[in-house]
Amino acid sequence: MAGVTTFRSTLSRAAPGALAGLLAAFTALALAELVAGLVRPTAGPVTVVGGAVIDRTPAAVKDFAIRTFGEDDKAVLQLGILVVLAFIAMGLGVLSLRHRRAGGAGVLLFGIVGAFAALTRPDSAGVGDALPSVAGGVAGALVLWFLASKAARQPAGGEGGGGAGWNRRGFLTAAAATAVAATASGALGQFLVDRKGQGAVASRDALVLPEPASPATAVPAGAELKVPGISPFTTPNRDFYRVDTALVVPRVDAGTWRLRIHGKGVTRPRTHTLDQLLARPLIERDITLTCVSNEVGGPYIGNARWLGVPLAELLREAGVRPPSRGGKADQLVARSVDGMTLGSPVEDVMDGRDAMLAVGMNGEPLPFDHGFPVRMLVPGLYGYVSACKWITDLELTTFDAYDPYWVKRSWARRAPIKTQARIDTPKPFARPAAGAVTVGGVAWAQRRGITRVEVRVDDGRWQDADLAVQDTVDTWRPWSYRWNATPGGHTLTVRATDGAGRVQTEERARTVPDGASGWHSVFVTVS
């Protein structure tokens, strides 16, 4: 029993140290939040450290995170950072009971790590970004020093000390005061951050989208199939997938937003305001957007009706010519307010397809999550090489001269969308009753269109599915197949043929480097 007693008393001696460490970390984060609220909302330490982790995560790990946590991946990352911080903070707190200086120095070191992360983010705006972490680190170190001195063993006779030999009441009072002060500064910081975003929210609320000069053709009556479980033809904004690296969604004020066009071959560099763009003839188009990180059968695809400025015209006005017309720049690099860079082939943007700077999505201004006030779209290209959200800069350059963000992280320079079909219903491992079962889903091959979808049951023959009416070659095409299901386990497989006559390849490829391929299969048990 002696061992247990020793363990207990060690624990009770360590507890105030651990609490002091937690409070020091809490104070550091809260004060950093306050300073970030004053300097720049996205410069808070958890945000910059999280961002730095994202920047340095190998493609395969990122893919795993997206696959496992889906759109919660960012929340999981931030929670992970906080949990790791909490454990380190408790350790430093216990350490500081005996080695006060080492504990404080440890907390300071974390502030420096945060500052380093802030300065190396692609959107770093200068040394000011290091301030929140540095201020937090200093405050945390001071708090730890102070609380550790209260928690340390006192000369005998301290009031309320009992047998513990330390000033318990004094420590708890100091700890409570620290907690209150830190909570207050964190709340004030949150308030300031929210207030900074309010101008952007007001500018979005006030934005009235003009009528398009070139409206989208009406979606044909038969473009949607009335099959329960199939994706709706138009994805509502709230259900539209979101993929980006932003831990804090940028809230850009439409009134102060600018787009600069410059670089190689630009004879008339220009900076546009939103009002100037909105005064131009706008086009409205249905376009299906797809993420390169979408697994075979995955969810990172959506179809919306977009309103925007034709991009090729803007480039032509700036003097840009595509390479096929003697232009020197073959890559168009789009840069967002959060420092993201995406590179598209100039040739694709100017070949007559509906590449646009979108301002509207399904009849409303772009949601903040999807790039308000302006994002780029190029039909036929995966999002990471075309669909820059919160865009603010367009630079003409070459593929030889510059690698954008994802290309630096082992993704391909050029990435046209691969022909794919997905089974939406039945779901994997569903247990439909024997008899007529409707199998259905969507198929896509933006720019080429879908001409055929076939379904195979187990190792049987390929059977033609019924296709919905095609809207445009840039949209996905729903399909369905009536299956006479017999009892037992069955594997349903689907494949599409695109407008170029190519049958979707069976060859499995991972998402890295230029998009997944292979056939989608679903296993069901018919009862």
The residue ranges that bind ligand MTE (CB under 6 A) are: 240-245, 289, 291, 336, 338, 340, 370, 383-384, 387-390
Query: In terms of CB distance, is 110 or 300 closer to ligand MTE?
Result: 300
Distance, in Å, from the CA atom of 289 to the CA atom of 474, rounded to the nearest integer, reads 9
- Closest approach of ligand MTE to the CB of residue 389, in Å: 4
Of ligand MTE, Mo ion, none, which one does residue 374 interact with (CB within 5 to 8 Å by kind)? none
| CB 243, min distance to Mo ion, A | 5
- Binding-site residue total for Mo ion (CB under 5 A)? 5
Tokens of 410: 């082992």
Among positions 292-351, residues that touch Mo ion (CB under 5 A) are: 292
> β-strand 466-467 against 477-485: which pairing, if any?
antiparallel
CA torsion angle for 200, 55, 415, 351 (degrees, to 10)? Answer: 40
Nearer to Mo ion, 145 or 384 (CB): 384
Q: Which is nearer to ligand MTE, 261 or 378 (CB)?
A: 378
Q: What is the CA radius of gyration of the chain?
A: 28
Residue 473 touches which member of ligand MTE, Mo ion, none, C-beta under 5-8 Å by kind: none
Instruction: Give the angle 105-108-114 at the CA atoms, nearest 5°.
Output: 145
Contact status: 243 vs Mo ion (CB under 5 A): yes
- Give the one entry of Mo ion, ligand MTE, none that residue 504 binds, where binding means its C-beta sits below a cut-off of 5 to 8 angstroms depending on kind: none
Closer of 300 and 481 to Mo ion (Cβ): 300
CB of 127 to Mo ion, least distance (A): 32
Among 65, 131, 278, 291, binds Mo ion (CB under 5 A): 291
User: What does 240 interact with, of Mo ion, ligand MTE, none (CB < 5 to 8 A by kind)?
Assistant: ligand MTE
Which residues have a Cβ under 8 Å from the Cβ of 18 and sit 6 or more positions away?
90, 93, 94
User: x-or-dash pattern for Mo ion, window 366-395, by CB under 5 A?
Assistant: -----------------xx-----------
Report the 10 Å Cβ neighbour count for 117. Answer: 25
CB of 66 to Mo ion, least distance (A): 9
Closest to ligand MTE by CB, 290 or 397: 290
448 neighbors 455 (Cβ within 8 angstroms): no
State the minimum distance, in angstroms, from the CB of residue 73 to ligand MTE. Answer: 12
Write out 384-402 in H/E/C secondary structure.
HHCCCCCEEEEEEECCCCC
Residue whose CB is less far from ligand MTE, 110 or 240: 240
Q: Which amino acid is at 79?
A: L
Q: Which residue's beta carbon is nearest to the bound ligand MTE?
A: 383
Work out how close the CB of 349 gets to ligand MTE at its nearest, in angstroms, rounded to a whole number. 15
In this structure, are residues 154 and 161 in contact, taking their beta carbons and an 8 Å threshold? yes
Q: Based on CB atoms, which residue is closest to Mo ion, 411 or 481?
A: 411
Q: Where are the alpha helices (DSSP H) in 279-401?
A: 311-317, 346-349
Q: What is the 3-state secondary structure (H, E, C) of 63-106?
A: HHHHHHHHHHHHHHHHHHHHHHHHHHHHHHHHHHHHCHHHHHHH
Taking the complex as a whole, the smallest distance from the CB of residue 214 to ligand MTE amounts, in Å, to 23
- Cβ at position 206, least distance to ligand MTE in Å: 22
Residue 242 or 280: the one with the smaller Cβ distance to ligand MTE is 242
39 binds, options Mo ion, ligand MTE, none, Cβ within 5 to 8 A by partner type: none
Binding partner of 381, given ligand MTE, Mo ion, none, CB within 5-8 angstroms per partner class: none
Q: 348 contacts which partner out of ligand MTE, Mo ion, none, CB within 5 to 8 A by kind? A: none
**223 CB-near residues (< 8 Å, 6+ apart):** 233, 468, 469, 470, 471, 475, 478
SS3 482: strand
Three-state DSSP at 454 gives strand
Task: State the minimum distance, in angstroms, from the CB of residue 376 to ligand MTE.
Answer: 8
Burial 426-451 (b: 16+ CB within 10 A, else e): beeeeebeeeebbbbbbbbbbbbbbb
Of the pair 335, 477, the CB lying nearest ligand MTE is at 335
Name which of 290 and 480 has its Cβ closer to ligand MTE.
Answer: 290
Q: How far is the CB of 309 from ligand MTE (least distance, A)?
A: 17
Amino acid 291 reads: C
CA dist., res. 105 & res. 142, Å (int): 10
Positions that interact with Mo ion (CB under 5 A): 243, 291-292, 383-384
